[in-house]
Structure 1
Amino acid sequence: MPVPWVHLLPSLLVVFWSSGHLETFAEAEDVLCYERFDDTTQTCSGLLGDGINQQDCCLNHQYGFREGLGGACRACHAAMWSEWSEWSPCSVTCMEGAQRRSRKCHGSNAGSCVEGRREWEMRSCSLRDCCPVDGGWSSWSAWSPCSVTCLSGFRSRKRTCTNPAPVCGGTCPGDSEEREPCDTKQVCPTHGNWGNWGNWEPCPATCTPEGSGAKPRQQRHRLCNNPSPSTAPPGNPCQGSGLDHQDCVGLPYCPQDGNWGGWKNFSPCSVTCGVGRQVMKRQCDSPPPKHGGRNCPGEDTQHHPCVTGVPCPVNGQWTEWSEWSKCERLGLGMNINCQEITGLQSRKRRCLGKANSGKSCDGKISESRTCYNIHFCTLTGAWSDWSPWSLCQPPCGPNPMKTRQRECKPEYPDYPMTVEGENGIIQDIHFWGTPVPKCDPLQGQKLKVVERAPCLNVLPCED
């Protein structure tokens, strides 16, 4: 088998085979590579670096990339639908309104949807069954007595929101209480009260070497002016002293600024596949900061991307189950339709997407069950209750409508619904097929009655 060797040229990947054959491929563009892509918000995080080849970045399908600083974040995995967004707030606060949600297709490769496509859903909503109605105020009460017995104070009066009372959470505009000043025409004595202590006077030293035992005294003052005592009528003076002393203890040592030590070697690459990062660190220890000295300026860590060139494993995912096969008894030539005779049916699914030594899907690839064949069998029916209202259609546009329905549902035969299988295990028996129910006509219909209604107070269209 010929052995290739590779040479990189600008914009081309050139592969030389030992047989002399030469092939060229267009090289993917360089991008900004991120180690996380959020499927819900379609955003990237954890920048690994720029100037990384898109093909290398997407060796890990969980990664994302941008084609430039202003570009949208794109997923490395195959195109798929995001989760539905949260429902928007209801368009009105009372009675019936509408709310909308959306989802978007994202991914850089062909998948189950078209990249960039967006879908919307809209439904009716009601936060409360009635709208608020404001009430009216009662008459004001009489004024209260003055709040003080000397000098000036306040008096107040009140009213209640009961004339009439508000309905459904309504209120009364305005205040429920009024206040106004009142004068007693009496003079009050003013008792003295200390003001705040002033700042401590500075100690005679600013900084000292470690081990200094000097303890000079410092003092502070306060004044009896918060307020000062009155003279007519006489107020009480402040109690205690206006001067305070303390020893100067814990004087600061002279500060010593820190300085960086050398950078340590790069750590190993953080991943074994795709693109990761390497870390290089240094410490502020040559010397370390001391006694309030400044820390070293700058960062203590540097990050650099590393490309392994190895694709990451992709685990397999189950497809949806196929439809159940026809309920029948194979090999006996027996017709079991519309009879109390059990048959067998099966369904299958596939495990897709496994790549690069990823894990296979857990579980069975096929399953079978015991069944009764009631396909097209005529059964007695009964009308169901009204279903919930459907989503509003269209979700964006003029005159959206909602529907609900009642259906003629079949009443299934009273057959045994379990059977003893192998090793004495009890198995359930399932009805299979689409029977034909018979109900008395309802509003002129035999199988289904549909009711339509407009969606009210709908939201404006977006995008």
Structure 2
Amino acid sequence: MVNTMLLVFGLQYILFLLPQVTGKVTLQYLLGLDSQLVSCYYEFDMNTGTCNQLIGNVRQDDCCFNSNYGFRKESGECMSCRQASWSAWTTWGPCSVSCLKGVKQRRRRCDGTGECRDPEKLGTLQTTVCEDKDCCPEQGGWGEWGPWQPCSVSCGDGVSKRERLCSNPWPKCGGGCDGQGEDFQPCLTGDVCPTHGSWSNWGPWGPCSGTCKKEGDNPPSQESRRTCTNPAPSSVPAGRFCQGDGTDIQLCDFLPMCPIDGGWGAWGPLSECSVTCGVGQRFAERNCNNPALKYGGKLCVGDSRKSEICYTQTHCPVDGEWQEWEQWGKCTKSTYPRPISCTKKTGIQNRQRSCLFKGFDGQSCVGSTVDHRLCYDISDTKEKHCEKPGRWNEWTQWSFCHPPCGLGSKQQRVRLCVPDLPEYEEVKGEQVFYSGEPKLTGCPVLSEENKTQSQDCPNVPAC
């Protein structure tokens, strides 16, 4: 009983000492709630979702003393130590077809601990219609062969060719014809031509007569040869033999001096820890100078640097992160006691956002937690009636395809009856916005197909 009371008191004391930080990294560390070993990395790349610069295997809570770090579990997926947040959307991928309409996609990730807020339900995959080329290639057909052209030589054996056009019909949109547009056949002149000799290409350089240069001696040499066989001269009628030498010799000046292999010196002392918070590394180095290599000798086998993990037992600062703005509030005028709906009186709208996750002397979010703008209230309420003329707006842009993958994907556009309001006015150089929903009159009746349109998204990839 006494031991149980001491344990409870000890936990309460630890909780009292903890700083108030979103997430429970420090509590996990002190209580040992997450002692799983992970591969810890100095950097989690927010653009690619990859881990860079391995530190070593440590406990997950030790690794995440620095929120910029990343780690891998046995599953192999790279994970971020920061609180959950969305990555940027990737660039749009290629169109799913090379011609006519298809779709292209982009993705984003939720990286970090916890879940990402998604009030607009954008998800992790977006799909939209694309068209790289508004027509598909159509093959043509070959016309008739033309006549055979004269023989290519005046003596000996040659070739003759004929041609045809891809014009029956002509191809469209980058198409072509299957097969060749030229045809060849051998032709004989009946006259024998003399064949003059010509050198073949130089052969590769042969091996050097030695493997290294000795100081004070001439370097070894090597040879390259060629033959008068490209073609060989004819005997009847007689052709000319090749002019020049069939052998070339060069010195192997590029050979190294006879080598002296290097040897390792002693290890130097370990450095200070590479970080002042979280986990890092200490390094020791040694030089390949015992003896130093000379004349292209072999480098020392092994590493010139070794490391060991060091623990500072200090949590790194965690900077605050802005959350999304909340919705704009009601348009009000604090100095005017009556409702301002449908009046010329300007009010103020506010919206707020929260700076979360700041802890351990991290930086606060830069900027204000409150935003405001001037507004006219056009809300139709029980207390204050507000009626405005309405008009049908233009068609909206086509939406993203839903669902974003698989069968039955569609996109939609709509027209809405909106208040016919004047352009935003300015008050002392500030733009003024309309707030609220009035009662609309005057929008002519439209059929459903003139208010909402949908169409299939073609060639959507499977999920």
TM-score, reference length from structure 2: 0.80
Q: Determine if the alignment matches structure 1 residue 44 to structure 2 residue 51.
A: yes
Q: Distance in 1 between matches of 2:87 and 2:225?
A: 69
Quote the residue 2:276 is aligned against: 272
- Percent identity over the alignment is 43
Quote the residue 2:70 is aligned against: 64
Structure 1 counterpart SS, 2:453:
strand
Amino acid at match of 1:419: V
Q: Distance in 2 between matches of 1:81 and 1:250?
A: 57
Judged with a 3 Å threshold, the aligned counterparts in structure 2 of structure 1 residues 383 and 142 are, in CA distance, closer, same or farther, namely same
Q: Would you say the 8 A contact 1:84–1:103 is kept in 2?
A: yes
Q: Distance in 1 between matches of 2:306 and 2:341?
A: 74
- Of residues 407, 419, 434 in structure 1, which corresponds to 2:427? 419
Q: Distance in 1 between matches of 2:69 and 2:395?
A: 47
Q: Would you say the 8 A contact 1:383–1:439 is kept in 2?
A: no
Q: Determine if the alignment matches structure 1 residue 259 to structure 2 residue 263.
A: yes
1:359, CA displacement in angstroms? Answer: 0.8
Judged with a 3 Å threshold, the aligned counterparts in structure 2 of structure 1 residues 314 and 205 are, in CA distance, closer, same or farther, namely closer
Q: Would you say the 8 A contact 1:76–1:109 is kept in 2?
A: no
Quote the residue 2:297 is aligned against: 293
* More strand as a share of residues: 1
Gaps in structure 2 of 5+ consecutive residues: 1-9, 14-26, 381-385
1:119, CA displacement in angstroms? Answer: 4.1
Gaps in structure 1 of 5+ consecutive residues: 1-13, 18-22, 421-425
Amino acid at match of 1:329: K
Structure 1 counterpart SS, 2:293:
coil
Q: Would you say the 8 A contact 1:94–1:127 is kept in 2?
A: yes
1:457, CA displacement in angstroms? Answer: 3.0
- Of residues 337, 340, 354 in structure 2, which corresponds to 1:336? 340
Q: Would you say the 8 A contact 1:77–1:109 is kept in 2?
A: no
Judged with a 3 Å threshold, the aligned counterparts in structure 2 of structure 1 residues 362 and 181 are, in CA distance, closer, same or farther, namely same
Q: Distance in 1 between matches of 2:117 and 2:70?
A: 18
Structure 2 counterpart SS, 1:273:
coil
Query: What is the 5 A alignment of 1:186-265?
Result: 186-195=191-200, 209-210=214-215, 212=216, 214=218, 223-242=227-246, 253-265=257-269
Q: Would you say the 8 A contact 2:86–2:116 is kept in 1?
A: no
Q: Deviations over 1:103-136 (max 9, x none)?
A: 44343346647xxxx7443333333333322111
Q: Would you say the 8 A contact 1:442–1:449 is kept in 2?
A: no
Q: Would you say the 8 A contact 2:82–2:113 is kept in 1?
A: yes
Q: Would you say the 8 A contact 2:412–2:454 is kept in 1?
A: yes
1:350, CA displacement in angstroms? Answer: 2.6
Amino acid at match of 1:433: G
| Aligned length in residues | 429
Amino acid at match of 1:25: L
1:174, CA displacement in angstroms? Answer: 1.0
Q: Would you say the 8 A contact 1:408–1:438 is kept in 2?
A: no
Judged with a 3 Å threshold, the aligned counterparts in structure 2 of structure 1 residues 142 and 86 are, in CA distance, closer, same or farther, namely same
Query: What is the 5 A alignment of 1:153-168?
Result: 153-168=158-173
Amino acid at match of 1:393: H
Amino acid at match of 1:173: D
Quote the residue 2:38 is aligned against: 31
TM-score, reference length from structure 1: 0.80
Amino acid at match of 2:446: Q
Q: Would you say the 8 A contact 2:104–2:128 is kept in 1?
A: yes
Q: Distance in 2 between matches of 1:218 and 1:61?
A: 62
1:201, CA displacement in angstroms? Answer: 8.6
Amino acid at match of 1:36: E
